[in-house]
Amino acid sequence: MEPQLLEMKPRLFIGSSSEGLKTAQFIQKQLAVITDCEIWNEGVFGLNESYFETLIKIPNLYDFALLIATKDDRTKSRNKLFDAPRDNIIFEFGLFLGKLHRQRVYILQEEEVKLPSDLLGITILKFKININDSRPSSSLKKCSEKLYSIIKEEGDRFIYTALPSTA
């Protein structure tokens, strides 16, 4: 009798605002075949810990991260008003990016959402919301297909990250 190999799927963290939860759940369903995917509201944040403590720890538990930037807030920049994502989405993007590497952390940007100017020039997944329809838009489906292929290709690749000093 030959030993069975357990196939481990890469782990994916999805962060969103409460308003972006439906988008997060759609992506989770699309990527469940190739990832163990958790959305921020599914028990990621434990009891008796602050959000900040948990956020410092969780990048170590995942292989990939997706942060969904939806039109949640209005912000004023250079005397113009813009739709913007919640601040925590940008913070968590940077936090995961610092740990997981740029090939494993993604932003999914709703069309017309303002992102920080430091992200200009980076190719970002963009999608439209179907305002009059509860079904996912074709652009969101295309984004999920792109993520699927990237994670499938990148998932087995080892990424060297700096280890903490033992000295």
Sheet holding 125-127, edge to edge: 36-39, 11-15, 64-69, 105-110, 125-127
Query: Which residues fall within 8 angstroms of residue 166, CB to CB, at 6 or more apart?
Result: none
90: part of which helix (H) or strand (E)? helix 87-100
Residue 92 among the catalytic residues: yes
> What phi and psi, each to the nearest 5 degrees, are found at residue 76?
-110, 125
d(CA 111, CA 156): 31
Q: One-letter amino acid identity for 149?
A: S
CA angle, residues 135, 108, 85, in degrees to nearest 5? 100
Is-contact 113 85, C-beta < 8 A?
yes
The catalytically annotated residue of 92, 110, 111, 153 is: 92
Active site residues: 92
